[in-house]
Structure 1
Amino acid sequence: MQPDAVPTLLVTGSSGQVGFELRRSLAPLGQVVALDRNACDLSRPDDIRRVVREYRPDVIVNPAAYTAVDKAETEAELAYAINGTAAGVFAEEAKALGCLLVHYSTDYVFDGTKERAYVEADPVNPQSIYGKSKLAGEQAIAAVCGRALILRTCWVAGAHGSNFAKTILRLGKERDSLRVIADQFGAPTTASLIADVTAQIVARQWLFGDRQSFASGTYHLAAGGETTWHAYATEVLRYAKGRGVELKADANCIEAIPTPAYPLPASRPANSRLDTTLLRKTFDIHLPDWKQGVHFLLDQILP
C-alpha cells in the first residue's frame, strides 16, 4: 500500500451482529465496503471472486456465516458452502491480491469434553454440522497458506440482531418463570468487543505495522471469565431490573436445568471456554470480563 493511499476494507455479512459492529470499528481505518447477502452471496463462489476483484481490498473481513445451528442439521450442503467453501475462496483471492483475510470461527469446532479452557492447539472434534462446516472453513483457509487471521469466538451477542440476551429480556417480560440450561460453560462475548479487537489488530499489525512480521494463524477471542447460560440469564434480568425494566420473571424466577431437559437437534459443547492467552500476548490485547460486556450491551438496548 502506498503511504498516502486510503486502505480499502471489505466486510461481509454487514447486517449481522459482528458485521454491523465492524462497520463502526473499521471506519476510522479507511474506506469500508460493507456487503450484505444481496451484494455477495457466500453460497456462490463466483460472487465472492467478483466482489474481491472489483474492490481489490487491503483487508477482507469475513464475519458472514451460516449460523442456524439446528437448521444446519438438515441443510448441510448450504452450511458447508457458506462456512467451508466460501472461506477457502476468500483465502485464494486474498492470497492473489496479497491482502489480509480475517475470518471468524467458533467454539463448536471442539466437542466440549475438556475440563479446562480450550487452547488453539487442542484437538478439534465438532459434534454438529455447524461445527463441522466451520472447521471446514478453517481447514480451507489453512490449505491456501496466505496471510490470514482466524478468530474463534463463543456466545456472541450484539445490540444489533437476535441473541440470547435479547431473548431472555423478552421472556422475562412475558413469562412468570424461565428454565435455562446450567451445565454448559462459556463466556458471553459482545459483537462490539470482537469488532474492536479486530480493528486494533488490523491497524497495528497490518495497515500501519510491519506486514512481513504479521502473526498469521488461529487465535481464541472471548471475553474474560466464565459462566453458564443460567447464570448469564440471571445477570441479564438482574441488571435489567436494576435499570427499572418491568419484568414478570426476575432473576429469582429462573430454574436451572440440565442439557437433556432441553433437547435440540444439534449438539452443543458442554465446555465452550476458550483460553485467550495467545491472542492477548501476541497482540497486546486486553479482554474485559464478560459481565462488563453484557452490561454495556444491555445499556445499548434497554430504554
Structure 2
Amino acid sequence: MDQVTTRTFAPDAAGLTAAADVLAAGGLVAFPTETVYGLGVDARNSDAVARLYAAKGRPSFNPLIVHVPTLQAAERHVSFDATARALAQAFWPGALTLVLPLKPDAGISPLVTAGLETLAVRVPDHALARDLLQAFDGPVAAPSANPSGQVSPTKAVHVADHMTGLINGIVRGGDCTVGVESTIVATQPVPTVLRAGGLPTESIEAVIRQPLARAGDSAAPTSPGQLASHYAPKGTVRLNAETVEAGETLLGFGPVDAAINLSRSRDLTEAAANLFDALHQLNAMGAEKIAVSPIPETGLGAAINDRLRRAAAPR
C-alpha cells in the first residue's frame, strides 16, 4: 500500500469538521470511542472500505461494525425487533453492538458486511465520536485502528505508532475509558452473545430477562471480533499463571509482584481499561514470554479473558 500523509485533527469543532471532510472524500480517519480507537471510513464507499482492509491487513471475510450517532440513524440501515430495541434503548450510547437484519435500501457497501445479510451497528458513548458522526452525517465503518491481529489502541499514540503513513488522519481524543471492544449481541433467532466486551453480559440478561446463548469462535465470522487468534502481542502468552517461569514477564492482576499490573486492587473495570495499553507496554519492553495472572470470569473479566485467550492462541 502506498504511503499517505497522516494528519492530526484537534478535538474541537474545526478539527472534527476537517476530519468529516476527509471521510466524505473517501479517506481513513482514526477517532476515539469509549472502548478503543476506531479506524473510520464511509460505510457506503466500497473503494474506501477496500483501502481500510488494505491498511489494516484485515481479511475481507471479517465484517465491520458501523457506527452511527443515534438509534434513529441506525434504523435507516437495519431492522429492529422488540429485543433489539429494548437493548438499544437501555445501553445506547454505549459499548453494545447489535447484529441485525440489513434493510434492502440500506446503502451499505457489501464489503462492510462481508456479504452477509446482517449488519453490526452501535452508537458510541464518546462525545467526540458522536460529534464526528454528526458532522459526517452518514454511517461510518470502524474496526479498531491497528494492524489486524495486533493489540488494539486505547491512546492516540498507539494509533500513530502503527498506522502513520497508512491512514489519512487521527482525531486526538485522550485515553479510552472502557479499554476493550464492545459486546456484540445478535437477537435472532435467539439472543446470543457473539463477543464478550465492555458491557457485561449480566447487564444484558437483566434487561431481556433470559440467559444469552453463546456463539463459538469461527474461521468464517458471522460478526466482527470472532477470529480465534487476535489482539496478539509480539511475545507468547501463558494464561492463569500462578507462578512465573524462567524468562517470563508477568502481567499481573491483584497484589502480586509484576512488571505491569492491570489492577493491584482486583478492580475489573480498571483492568479492562488498562489491558491493551499493558500489552503495548510489554511489546515496548521486548517481552518474549508473557505470563498472565488468573482473572475472574465474571463481569468485565469475561471480556478481558476473551481478549487474552485470543492473544494466546496459536498464530
TM-score relative to the length of structure 1: 0.29
